Amino acid sequence: MNRNGFILVTTLVMSLMLAGLASVAWAMSELNAQITTNYIRESQVKMAASSGIQHFLALDQIPRHQGNNYIAIPETPLTARLSYIVTIYLLDDQRALVVSRGLYKKASRVLFEHPTRMVISWN
């Protein structure tokens, strides 16, 4: 094999290695972007669920017996895709479980959901 052939083969091998490294770097950056987007959406859903609890507390209502459970606050949109729903589960005559579910939807399909729970009691 002459010198020009060796340089050509070496150049092709180095080009393939650089192309492989570039594709791995691109794939890693795409994965990092997706992880970051999911983290942000999950954080938004947790905050939406917390907003539902705060909304319920601001109403200062004592749950009345309307069966075992009922929706206290229907789906309340915060943005086009972010909302919360607050449901009451009566435990006994003096206590209830308040569950606020934060929802992130895209085209009416729930992509992320996070429940926040709180037990309230009254006299």
- Residue 89: give its domain's CATH number: 3.10.450.630
Q: Which domain holds residue 86?
A: 3-121
pLDDT tens profile 9-67: 888 989 999 998 888 888 888 888 889 999 999 999 999 999 999 999 999 887 766 67
More confident residue, 66 or 113: 113
* DSSP of the chain: --HHHHHHHHHHHHHHHHHHHHHHHHHHHHHHHHHHHHHHHHHHHHHHHHHHHHHHHHHT-PPP-SSSEEEEEEEEESSSSEEEEEEEEE-SSSEEEEEEEEEEEETTEEEEEEEEEEEEE--
Average the pLDDT over 88-94 and give the result: 87
pLDDT tens profile 55-70: 999 998 877 666 788 8
The model's pTM: 0.75
pLDDT of residue 65: 61
Q: Give me the number of domains the chain comprises.
A: 1
